[in-house]
Chain A
Amino acid sequence: MTTSPPIAGVAGAAAAPDAPVQKRKRPRVQNPWAIVAFVSPFALVFTLFYVIPIGYAVWQSLLVVEREGTFGEAREVFGGFAQYALVFQNAEFWSSVGRVFLFGIVQVPVMLGLALLFALLLDSPLLRGKKFFRLAFFVPYAVPGVIAAIMWGFLYSPNLSPFEAVTSQVDFLSSDLVLWSIANVVTWVFVGYNMLIIYSTLLAIPGDIYEAARLDGAGQARIAWSIKIPLIRPALVLTGVLSIIGTLQLLAEPQTFRSFSSAVTSTYTPNMTIYATSSIPNVSLAAAFSVVLALATFVLSFTFLRITRRKAATS
């Protein structure tokens, strides 16, 4: 494993922490046993519950089930990319991917836009009662996705809702609207969380930075736009990446909505498709779905990071 340091270093002068690394002589590693003690527990669990499962999923996705005759014993044999071919032919999977993609390009900007607005308002001198608002907006984050979905499911249901005047007119659980009803649940839960990440970054900006702008007569909006937003770009990127990952993982909310709306099918999101496929059971195909989904998450997150980094390269 890459994590274990060489036990005995080459004799010689111990390298100062920031000394340039010399090519020929390896700097002696100080306190090797302490490093082993600190790193190995995490390295062990990370290997067991992250690295090995990922490797196993990739391996499993390369297998196919073969039967001798119709009723013969099933056995798994290496099938190359056969499962991946099935993944690409699976229309239900791709329509679920399309659905979360549509979900993401609407919900993520709305949620982050609101979070940014609230954070800027909390950070501006325009507002009183900041502690109250900060807490009130953050409380939904304490509500797990399943519970939030149950709650909103009741609120949306025509005969149960406290807002009957609205729900008798608009069917929030219809196949046209249910995706956006779910988007609302996700937004409701996570706006406050994103707001706090952005807000705590704003708090770390020293107040004197605004002084010159104020002397020039810039108002709060101008200060927010020209000074604050550029400075908190890293926080916006972080929340953006986390939101993209979250969107592709969508599971608890739509799965819970199945008991409120028949419009949510068992293959409504990619994760639901994986679950449905694994309980058929067709684990190899489900594993292939998982690998494709994980790769898609990686690619999207990295692309987003690259695009935003390039823009922020000057800072």
Chain B
Amino acid sequence: MTTTTTMTAVNPTASRRRRGGGQDAVGRGPREGVIPRTAAFIVMGVFTLYFLTPIWWLLIASTKDRGDLFSTNPLWFADFRFFENVGALVAYRDGVYLRWLLNSLLYAGVGAVVATLLASMCGYALAKYRFPGRETLFNVVLGGVLVPATALALPLFLLFSQVQLTNTFWAVFLPSIVSPFGVYLSRVFAEASVPDELLEASRLDGAGEVRTFFTVSIRLMFPALVTVFLFQFVSIWNNFFLPLIMLRSEELFPVTYGLYAWNSTINQFPELRTFVLVGSLLSIVPLIITFLLLQRYWRTGLGTGALK
């Protein structure tokens, strides 16, 4: 009994499989009736439409030229012009769209990697070492979680303008490498998944603390690190206020801000409409790919923060 509980707590998917597949194994309770099952299916079906229809519409809209966009069935294909549209988008204004996409990948990709590394080291130290001021530090960082990112944007702008850093790559990149929530998650997860005995063993083998972290602990914390990375990646990718307030030069824009800028001039330049639609579709793809590639790891870590 106790052993199974511990096991399932460590590996939720194992318990899932037992419960999901083996309803008979779990209990002789009442079988689920047809009516609740149908009702559940209808609810989920209706909401599947709600969640996927807008994306389906976007996909369809990006395959059409300007005329067809308004004259043909909005939820089904007409003349398939997707590749022409992408070609035109990429060629527009010397490929400024690709530049934006690359900027976003740099801001969010590199920024999230650095943020994850810094946050995990700090969270690990908070979990595995005792030192004076540890709880104070942790509480200050927790307070940081509650500070709205947008409340930071304006003072950051004022400070950066004093050191002539506004309207540079660094203005958006540097603030993105701080993840207080990442420290919190890393601490919780390091406490749960890095056993002290292992650290002792590593010390007896003569490995230094830093080396132990990078060779042993970091592997045990991997699901949490993926979660921290994803949270940070998404929040940088979606960050709007910071680029809005920091950036003036088009060539520094992240893709979301670039598309926003195009969208707000659509009334003057109607030809931008197709570009906004195709560009929006393409800009979602990197995030979806990241999610799909990493979902195996990150779902384990996601509940960690909530459990404590």
User: Contact: A137 with B155, CB < 8 Å?
Assistant: no
Chain B residues closer than 8 Å to A117, beta-carbon distance:
43
Interchain pairs with CB closer than 8 A, number: 329
With contacts A162-B75, A251-B150 known, is A197 near B144, CB below 8 A? no
Q: Closest 10 CB pairs between A and B?
A: A162-B74, A214-B29, A34-B209, A200-B303, A235-B306, A42-B122, A38-B125, A214-B27, A53-B155, A57-B155
Q: In the complex, identify which listed stretch (A65-73, A103-111, A143-151) lies at the interface while the others stay far away.
A: A143-151
A contact residues vs B (CB 8 Å cutoff):
2-6, 15, 17, 26-27, 29-35, 37-39, 41-43, 45-46, 48-50, 52-54, 56-57, 60, 114, 117-118, 121, 124-128, 130, 133, 136-148, 150-155, 159-162, 188, 191-192, 196-198, 200-201, 203-204, 206-208, 210-211, 213-215, 217-221, 232, 234-235, 238-239, 241, 245, 248-249, 251-252, 255-256, 258-259, 271, 274-275, 278, 283, 286-287, 290-291, 293-294, 297-298, 301-302
> A41-B118, A210-B27, A275-B245 in contact; A252/B238 too (CB < 8 A)?
yes
- Which residues of chain B are near A147, meaning CB under 8 Å? 256, 259, 280, 283-284
B308, chain A: closest CB distance, angstroms: 7
Query: Is B137 interfacial (CB-CB < 8 Å)?
Result: yes
Q: Is B1 an interface residue (CB 8 A)?
A: yes
* CB-defined A-B contacts under 8 Å, sample of 30: A26-B132, A38-B209, A38-B210, A43-B137, A49-B175, A53-B155, A56-B158, A57-B151, A114-B47, A124-B32, A127-B37, A142-B288, A144-B240, A144-B287, A145-B256, A146-B238, A148-B54, A150-B259, A150-B280, A151-B57, A153-B263, A197-B303, A214-B30, A215-B27, A220-B32, A220-B36, A234-B307, A245-B146, A252-B241, A256-B264
> Within 8 Å of chain A (Cβ to Cβ): is B159?
yes
Q: B residues touching A (Cβ–Cβ < 8 Å)?
A: 1, 4-5, 8-9, 12-13, 15-16, 18-20, 23, 26-30, 32, 36-37, 40-41, 43-44, 47-48, 50-52, 54-55, 57-58, 61, 69-70, 74-75, 118-119, 121-122, 124-126, 129-133, 136-137, 140-141, 143-144, 146-152, 154-159, 174-175, 177-178, 180, 183, 196, 208-210, 213, 234, 237-238, 240-241, 244-245, 256-257, 259-260, 263-264, 266-267, 276-277, 280, 283-284, 287-288, 291, 299-300, 302-303, 305-308
With A and B bound together, what is the CA distance between A32 and B132 in angstroms?
A: 11
Q: Are B209 and A31 in contact (CB under 8 A)?
A: yes
**B288-A203 in contact (CB<8A):** no
Contacts of B37 in A (CB 8 A): 126-127
Residue of A nearest to B136 (CB): A2
Residues of B contacting A275 with CB < 8 Å?
241, 244-245
